Amino acid sequence: MTVSEILDDIRDEGVVAALKYTRLYDAIELGQNDLIWHPLLQEPPVIDWEIAEAIDFAIDQIRTFHEQTKPASVVTEPLPGVHLEERYHPLGRVGIYIPNGQFPLISTLLMTAIPARAAGVTEVLAAMSPRDRVFAQPLWTYVFQRLNISDVLLLGGAQAIGALAYGLENFSPVDFIAGPGNRYVAEAKREVARRGLVGIDLYAGPSEVLVIANEMQWLDYVVSDLMAQAEHDRDARAELVTTNPELAEVVRERTRELASDMGMITVTEVETLQDAVRVANDRAPEHLGLMGAEVEALADDIWTAGAIFVGPLAGQAFGDYVAGPSHVLPTGGVGRFQSGLSTRTFMKRISVIQVSPTVSPKPYQHAAVLAHLEGLLRHEQSMRLRQSWLQTHGGTNL
């Protein structure tokens, strides 16, 4: 079935369709009352102390960063009597999609749900495949309890996106869906957004990194970061851009023999560091690494990257887990016009315009002239009405 057909089926048949696709794609038989898991109702689990400590540290780092960078409302008075405000308001109900993987993708949940909470979203729900009986795993229970997520929809794939967008019995639809997934999930997110049902965060394509380096002393760090990105999957892309032929050759040699399930690593040689800047801005990579003092000075010249990692100690995996900013970043070159996930992703910006009687009639005259110019005579009349009132009752002169 196509993604669109699955979405239509979820819309029309609800729980019946959801259970059908769970049997078909996850090979799991769930009952009608099993689709929603309530982890907050379970006893606090006991997990490995080192894992708990790492999760708690990551939560604190991510929460602190997003609380400190949350946008604030702005109030201004550009003209006497004209009060303007740009007001930020959190979204109402957000669904986080957690992709199924060989290992538990805890960081995906942290990097999406925590920014939503920091933005002020009160209802944060999750959706994940019931495969591997995630609802029976203490690790997931621990994380959901730490994030105060009460409802987890046990659905994966396009059917999960459909359920989040259309709702099910005893599960109201959400206003916004965030979180990465495979190409079917990505297509489903785009389709429900196109239908006007929900907002979505980013189109998550294959993972990318571009590293600029030109000093041999950072060879091991360069190779390590390229390999780390390539291990995501076969579609991942990792690239070194360098002015140093020796570094280029050694990196090629060290990365030549890759596992069959790893992505592609390439090396691009350029004449100057400014050429490297041009390559980086053209690529608009998801992750950009800058290693070496001379290279690190280029950070201000590159504006299209999803995130910039300055210095050899700022490896991309540091940002993936514990730095603080969300690792959900634009891929496929869309960093030219799109930013990574943040509190702004989960907030709506509203313009508020308030005018007091102390305003001058003059702005209304200008508005009336512009309305007349565009042939909108009722617009013009509405401005002339207010202009006349102010001229009669007195306003301040500009």
Q: Is residue 379 annotated as involved in ligand binding? A: yes
Q: Going edge to edge, which strands form the sheet with 208-213?
A: 264-269, 237-242, 208-213, 287-291, 307-310
Q: Is residue 374 annotated as involved in ligand binding? A: yes
Q: What is the DSSP string of 286-329?
A: SEEEEESHHHHTTGGG--S-SEEEESTT--HHHHHHTSSS-S--
How far is the C-alpha of 316 from the C-alpha of 225, rounded, in Å? 7
Give every CB contact of residue 269 below 8 A, 6+ residues apart in sequence: 242, 243, 245, 248
Task: Give residue for tokens 């110019």.
Answer: 373
Q: Is residue 354 annotated as involved in ligand binding? A: no
Task: Give residue for tokens 């090979």.
Answer: 27
Q: Is residue 232 annotated as involved in ligand binding? A: yes
Q: Is residue 372 annotated as involved in ligand binding? A: no
Given CA atoms 98, 114, 327, 185 in this order, what sign does their dihedral have? positive
Q: Is residue 159 annotated as involved in ligand binding? A: yes
Residues in the chain: 398
- The catalytic residue positions are 286-287
Under 8 Å between Cβ of 61 and 69: no
With CA atoms as reference, report the closest residue to 167 among 127, 135, 129, 110.
127
Task: Give residue for tokens 């007091």.
Answer: 356
Give every CB contact of residue 83 below 8 A, 6+ residues apart in sequence: 75, 77, 353, 354, 355, 356
Q: Is residue 301 annotated as involved in ligand binding? A: no
Task: Give residue for tokens 């079935």.
Answer: 1
Binding residues for substrate: 207, 229, 232, 287, 320, 374, 379
Annotated binding site: 97, 159, 182, 207, 229, 232, 287, 320, 374, 379
Point out the annotated binding site for Zn(2+).
229, 232, 320, 379
List the binding residues for NAD(+): 97, 159, 182
